[in-house]
């Protein structure tokens, strides 16, 4: 029926993972179509707020109460404000049902959330790949570090990562160019950790900002990070990795890339006779017209929950419960990162020290629990993100008085504040799931997604451990007034707000317990691949996007070889 394919490959979504798939196929000479539901965002030209100063915004770069009320989910997100709101999904675009509270953060435009992300990038190690087997949760990963190592290198060399080479077993070194520096208090805390502990250390956060300009990034027309810390508005210097500044323009130059925007994929089209997927059906967001694009291979990179949604909605005679869902596990084992725990403290004794400029990263303390030794109270692990600052630039100006007193108060540096935050592994659980509503549809007529995702006792035990360990570390370093904050209890912080949602279409060796093989290829429909966070079996404790990129490049390489051999 669908004989003449429009393209060799269709990639759904142009964000961090999809742009990597597109780049790899275009580099290998394949005609590649990227289908994107959002509008076009061209590098530099479409960053309207990138050079604006705070006083140029009508509300001094704060989201208004009306905006927050109109958009309660993203209104709670730390990066949502007057300068960035245009890169977040607009209200009413895609309603969903929170069976349990879940803050689903979306960025619908060319580039997806790669424009908004905080750029923290750490490799996984075999501790993470072995963890489900070692601690008996999820299923065993079908790959190990050796399978992905060269793909991390491949991605890092292209996107540009800053950081130091630290020789840590469970956070293998990245290919780095240049590094940002710790300030005086961070250096002091790092030294105290070195003196007092043998199982942990503090390192400057590895991130996809160009502390130095590498040759590859210069070739891409990008330049050094100016440490403006205005990244989420889009960077006119290309100082950080986004699809828009890096992978997509590179792919475009090959002449093999086509991007269609304003096109929501609602389904993968499955041909019963040929027993293969033949394309995707899309709805134009402007005029609601529908059409089908066809290709030999389809990659889903719509970000975790939308890739789940598309597959659940791709029902056919062979797959009445969603494409590839032969075991009923599609949409199950949704997981995320536990950001509940935060410690705040003051550090006396450094009043004669200051720092200049801004910095696009923090200090990281790689995981040390359930790594070399095992902890009885919880499974999985967590890392910590540390930062210290003087509070002069973040004062609440409402309470600073008037006139000369106001100016004096503004120019006073203030004491050193220290913040320590956890990023913990949330274990995959069968009951943490998404499914489709039978009764409610979104504005395009696509079934609404129901999210049923929550914390459990393991997350609370992990947070308690973080409070204990973090308090010990800060106390030993000389901090005072240490306060523990459960951000879920204190501010109603819900799962999803960390924007590290993963799972639902997990990889694995056994088709009875997983949906994708070791190369992200569907067990039950061989020409469909899923390489965004939906493929993840477990979350590790690291920020996830570097791993999504490495898995995407690896799977594209594998699929390209099969295509060339005529096997797809």
Ligand X SMILES: Cc1cc2nc3c(=O)[nH]c(=O)nc-3n(C[C@H](O)[C@H](O)[C@H](O)COP(=O)(O)OP(=O)(O)OC[C@H]3O[C@@H](n4cnc5c(N)ncnc54)[C@H](O)[C@@H]3O)c2cc1C
Contacts with ligand X by CB under 6 A lie at 12-18, 35-38, 79, 105, 107-108, 112-114, 116-120, 264-265, 301-303, 306, 310, 499, 532-533, 543-545, 548
- Which burial class, exposed, middle or buried, applies to 404 when counting CB atoms under 10 A from its CB (0-12, 13-18, 19+)? exposed
Q: Which is nearer to ligand X, 88 or 466 (CB)?
A: 88
Tokens for 80, please give them: 């949502």
In the complex, what is the shortest distance from the CB of residue 546 to ligand X, in angstroms, rounded to a whole number?
6
Question: How many angstroms separate the CA atoms of 509 and 518, rounded?
Answer: 7
Smallest CA-to-CA distance from 209 within 123, 112, 79, 119 is with 119
Separation in Å, CA 551 to CA 136, 268, 272, 448, 477: 23, 21, 29, 28, 39
At 372, phi and psi to the nearest 5? -85, -35
Q: Which is nearer to ligand X, 416 or 428 (CB)?
A: 428
DSSP 369-427: TTSSS--SS-SS-EEEEEEEEEGGGG--GGGS-SHHHHHHHHH----EEEEEEEEEEPP
Q: Which is nearer to ligand X, 8 or 532 (CB)?
A: 532
Q: Which is nearer to ligand X, 140 or 366 (CB)?
A: 366
In the complex, what is the shortest distance from the CB of residue 504 to ligand X, in angstroms, rounded to a whole number?
12
In the complex, what is the shortest distance from the CB of residue 317 to ligand X, in angstroms, rounded to a whole number?
23
Q: Which is nearer to ligand X, 119 or 123 (CB)?
A: 119
Q: Name the one residue in this structure whose structure tokens are 């203030």.
A: 414
CA 375 to the chain's CA centroid: 28
In the complex, what is the shortest distance from the CB of residue 375 to ligand X, in angstroms, rounded to a whole number?
25
Task: Please name the helix (run of DSSP H) or strand (run of DSSP E) that holds residue 504, with its range, or none.
Answer: strand 502-504
In the complex, what is the shortest distance from the CB of residue 361 to ligand X, in angstroms, rounded to a whole number?
9
Q: Which is nearer to ligand X, 30 or 124 (CB)?
A: 124
Characterize 161-192 residue by residue with b for buried, 16 or more Cβ atoms within 10 angstroms of its Cβ, and e for exposed: bbbbebebebbbebbbbbbbebbebbebbbeb
Q: Which is nearer to ligand X, 306 or 484 (CB)?
A: 306
SS3 call for 41 = coil
Q: Give the Cβ contact number of residue 372 at 10 Å.
A: 11
- Whether 455 and 311 have beta carbons less than 8 Å apart is answered as no
SS3 call for 45 = coil
Tokens for 287, please give them: 């005029």
Residue showing the smallest CB distance to ligand X in the complex: 15
Q: Which is nearer to ligand X, 243 or 484 (CB)?
A: 243
Q: Which is nearer to ligand X, 116 or 559 (CB)?
A: 116
In the complex, what is the shortest distance from the CB of residue 115 to ligand X, in angstroms, rounded to a whole number?
8
Q: Which is nearer to ligand X, 192 or 314 (CB)?
A: 314
In the complex, what is the shortest distance from the CB of residue 147 to ligand X, in angstroms, rounded to a whole number?
20
At 466, phi and psi to the nearest 5? -60, -45
Q: Which is nearer to ligand X, 82 or 532 (CB)?
A: 532
The C-alpha R_g of the chain, in whole angstroms, comes to 23
Classify strands 290-300 and 528-530 as parallel, antiparallel or unpaired.
Answer: parallel
């Amino acid at each position: 029926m669908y004989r003449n394919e429009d393209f060799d490959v269709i990639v759904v979504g142009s964000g961090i993972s999809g742009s990597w798939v597109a780049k790899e196929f275009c580099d290998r000479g394949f005609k590649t179509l990227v289908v994107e539901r959002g509008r076009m965002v061209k590098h530099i030209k479409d960053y309207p707020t990138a050079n604006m100063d705070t006083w140029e915004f009508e509300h001094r770069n704060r989201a208004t109460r009306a905006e927050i009320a109109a958009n309660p989910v993203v209104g709670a997100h730390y990066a949502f404000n007057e300068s960035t709101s245009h890169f977040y999904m607009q209200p009413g675009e895609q309603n969903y049902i929170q069976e349990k509270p879940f803050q689903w953060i979306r960025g619908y435009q060319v580039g997806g959330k790669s424009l908004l992300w905080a750029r923290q990038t750490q490799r996984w190690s075999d501790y993470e790949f072995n963890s489900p087997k070692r601690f008996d949760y999820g299923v065993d990963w079908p790959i190990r570090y050796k399978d992905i190592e060269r793909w991390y290198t491949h991605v890092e060399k292209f996107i540009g990562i800053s950081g130091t080479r630290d020789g840590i077993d469970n956070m293998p070194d990245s290919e780095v160019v240049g590094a940002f520096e710790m300030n005086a208090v961070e250096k002091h805390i790092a030294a105290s950790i070195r003196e007092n502990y043998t199982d942990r250390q503090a390192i400057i956060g590895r991130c996809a900002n160009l502390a130095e300009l590498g040759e590859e990034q210069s070739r891409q027309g990008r330049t050094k990070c100016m440490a403006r810390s205005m990244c989420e508005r889009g960077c006119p210097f290309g100082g950080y990795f986004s699809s828009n500044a890096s992978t997509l323009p590179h792919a475009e130059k090959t002449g093999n890339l086509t991007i269609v925007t304003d096109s929501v994929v609602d389904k993968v089209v499955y041909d019963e006779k040929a027993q293969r997927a033949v394309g995707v059906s899309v709805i134009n967001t402007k005029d609601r017209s529908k059409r089908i694009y066809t290709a030999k291979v389809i990659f889903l990179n719509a970000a975790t929950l939308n890739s789940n949604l598309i597959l659940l909605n791709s029902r056919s005679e062979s797959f009445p419960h969603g494409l590839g869902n032969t075991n009923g596990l599609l949409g199950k084992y949704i997981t995320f990162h536990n950001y509940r725990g935060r410690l705040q403290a003051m550090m006396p004794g450094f009043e004669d020290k200051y720092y200049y400029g801004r910095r696009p990263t923090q200090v990281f303390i790689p995981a040390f629990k359930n790594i070399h030794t095992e902890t009885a109270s919880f499974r999985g692990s967590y890392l910590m993100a540390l930062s210290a600052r003087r509070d002069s630039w973040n004062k609440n100006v409402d309470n600073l008085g008037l006139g000369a007193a106001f100016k004096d108060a503004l120019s006073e540096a203030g004491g050193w504040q220290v913040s320590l935050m956890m990023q913990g592994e949330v274990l995959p659980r069968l009951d943490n799931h998404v499914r489709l509503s039978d009764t409610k549809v979104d504005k395009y007529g696509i079934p609404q997604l129901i999210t049923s995702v929550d914390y459990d006792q393991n997350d609370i035990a992990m947070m308690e451990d973080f409070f204990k360990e973090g308090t010990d570390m800060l106390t030993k370093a000389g901090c005072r007034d240490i306060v523990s904050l459960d951000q879920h209890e204190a501010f109603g912080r819900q799962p999803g707000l960390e924007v590290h949602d993963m799972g639902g279409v997990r990889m694995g060796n056994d088709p009875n317990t997983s949906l994708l093989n070791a190369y992200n290829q569907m067990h039950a429909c061989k020409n469909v691949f899923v390489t965004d966070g939906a493929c993840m079996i477990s979350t590790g404790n690291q920020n996830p996007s570097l791993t999504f990129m490495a898995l995407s490049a690896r799977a594209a390489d594998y699929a390209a070889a099969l295509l060339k051999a005529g096997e797809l």
